[in-house]
Structure 1
C-alpha cells in the first residue's frame, strides 16, 4: 500500500487530475483481482495535499471576491467578471497542482 501511495503521489505531482484519474482507473482495472486478494486499496487519502493549498485557495478566493465586487458596482461587465473568474481559478489550479 505504501508503494501505491508513492505512485499516486508521483502521478498527482506531475500530471493533471484528469490524467491521474484515468491512470488510477486503469491500474485499478488491471489489478483488481490481485488487490482484493492482498487487501490493497487506493483512495484519495493516498494523495498528499500540498501544505500551501489552503493559502493558495484563500488568496484566489479574495481575488474572486474583488472581481465580484467590481461587477456589483458596475465597474466591469458580466462577461469580464466571468473571464476574470476563469483566469483566477485556472491560476489557482495551476499553483495547487504545480
Structure 2
C-alpha cells in the first residue's frame, strides 16, 4: 500500500466524522439547545441544523411534547368528618427550552 493512499483514507474518514458532528437533525416534538464554549447561544427547532465545528455543541435535548404524571390516590378527611379519596393527573409541557 502506498502512503498517499493511507493518508487519503484517513483524511476521508476525518472529513466524514466532521460532517456528522456539524449536521444535527432534530426530531419532531423536540428542541436542542446549542452551546458555544459552554454558554447558551441558540435553540435548534425540529428539522436540520448546522453547527460550527469544534466550537458549538448540543447542550440539552428537550422534549417539547405534553407529558402526563399520575398522582397516587390519597385518603383525605374533610371538615365535616367525611372520608374522601382523591386521585389526580398532572399535565406538564415545556414552553421555552432556552430557560
Give the shorter-chain TM-score range.
under 0.3
State TM-score, norm by structure 2: 0.25
Query: Which structure shows the higher strand fraction?
Result: 2
The answer to which structure has the higher helix fraction is: 1
Return the index of the structure with the highest Cα Rg.
2
